[in-house]
Amino acid sequence: MPPLPDEQVERALAIVAHPDDAEFWAGGSIAHWAAAGIAVTYCVLTDGNNGGFDPAIPRTDIPAIRRAEQRAAAAILGVTQIRFLGLAESGIRPASRDLHAGLARIIREVRPQRVLTWSPQWNWQRFRSCHPDHLATGAAALAAIYPDAGNPFALPELAAQGLPAKLFRAPADPTRLAILLTLQAG
């Protein structure tokens, strides 16, 4: 299934694990999309609370610092919509119902024609890209995309809150949704 050409995409959603993934691994693509008029939204699952380099900085300050850095970096690329889920780094569990429902909710709210996320598969040629959070993010994102983001009988609490599933189809319908796994493919 080829991805939709940029001119047919109005909204894109990048689902990533850490508040620097999008820029490190797909910054050029995201900047290109935003410049082409595509409204790009980030969904950042963790606050990267295990990151940083300076032991003098209180660890409790790290999440706020990394969110601020993420907002600033996204703005440079032309991205202003960011959803922070606030999970603990190395704590992503793709089987979590809360995470599953949360991602399905965001997909239904954003209604992206293009989703960019991590591959859930190990890549021995790009080992450093295979942080467990990355793999778990990809697995959770794909599971949310199909089938539940587009199944009106799944997660009925979302439909009850005005977030029906009728705008979505299975990924096999290229006019509705294209999944790009380019974070690991290049």
18 or 83: CB nearest Zn ion: 18
Q: Is 114 in the site for Zn ion (CB under 5 A)?
A: no
Neighbours of 77 (CB within 10 A): 21
17 or 158: CB nearest Zn ion: 17
Phi, psi (rounded to 5 degrees) for 157: -65, -30
15 or 17: CB nearest Zn ion: 17
Smallest distance from Zn ion to CB 82, Å: 15
> Shortest CA distance to 123 belongs to which of 183, 75, 36?
183
Q: Which helix (H) or strand (E) holds 141?
A: helix 132-145
Do residues 81 and 146 lie in contact, with contact meaning Cβ atoms separated by under 8 Å?
no
Do residues 32 and 61 lie in contact, with contact meaning Cβ atoms separated by under 8 Å?
no
| Residue with the shortest CB distance to Zn ion | 18
Residues 4-23 that bind Zn ion (CB under 5 A): 17-18, 21
Q: Is 66 in the site for Zn ion (CB under 5 A)?
A: no
Q: Which helix (H) or strand (E) holds 131?
A: none
Smallest distance from Zn ion to CB 185, Å: 16
21 or 148: CB nearest Zn ion: 21
- Residues at the site binding Zn ion, with contacts judged by CB under 5 A: 17-18, 21
